[in-house]
Amino acid sequence: MFRPSALHLPVVVANAYDLPFESHTFDLITASNLIFLLSNPIQALKKMKELLCGGGRIAMLNPSDYLNEQTALLFANEKGLEGVARDTLLNWARRATEYHQWTEEETFALYSDAGMKCMGSILKVGPGFGRFSWGIA
């Protein structure tokens, strides 16, 4: 996505715990498949909250508690996935199992622990492998 050149400009590559923006800069922040990989997701979410304007929103997609290597393999076989599509799905499942898969309760608690309000959480991606959630600062 960033090499040889970024798809969208400007692009900033930064540490999720130390984002290089001024407070109250954004109306919307998205984090797709990020929070589940972090050792301290609450700290990262608090930083994102700090960057949101009053009433600002955050939207996230992370693995759901339904995603694991077995369910991903069954789905890949059922859909006839091959090559990069298959490898990507199975790698996502391995990483979800290794790091974290989010239940609805954990998702709501994550927002709350970061001082935000989760407005909703729904399952997406195939049979529900991803948990899409959104909240407000």
Tens-place pLDDT, residues 107-124: 999 999 999 999 999 999
Q: What is the pLDDT of residue 13?
A: 83
Residues in the chain, total = 137
How confident is the model over 24-59, as pLDDT tens digits?
A: 999 999 999 999 999 999 999 999 999 999 999 999
Residues in contact with 126: Cβ distance below 8 Å, sequence separation at least 6, in sequence order: 75, 79
DSSP state of 10: S
Q: What is the pLDDT of residue 55?
A: 92
Q: What is the pLDDT of residue 132?
A: 97
pLDDT at 88 over 90: yes
Alpha carbon distances (Å) from 66 to 59, 62, 93, 99, 135: 20, 11, 10, 14, 22
- The closest of 49, 40, 132, 25 to 12, measured between CA atoms, is 25
Beta strand extents in the chain (DSSP E only) = 26-32, 52-63, 117-124, 130-136
Query: pTM for this structure?
Result: 0.88
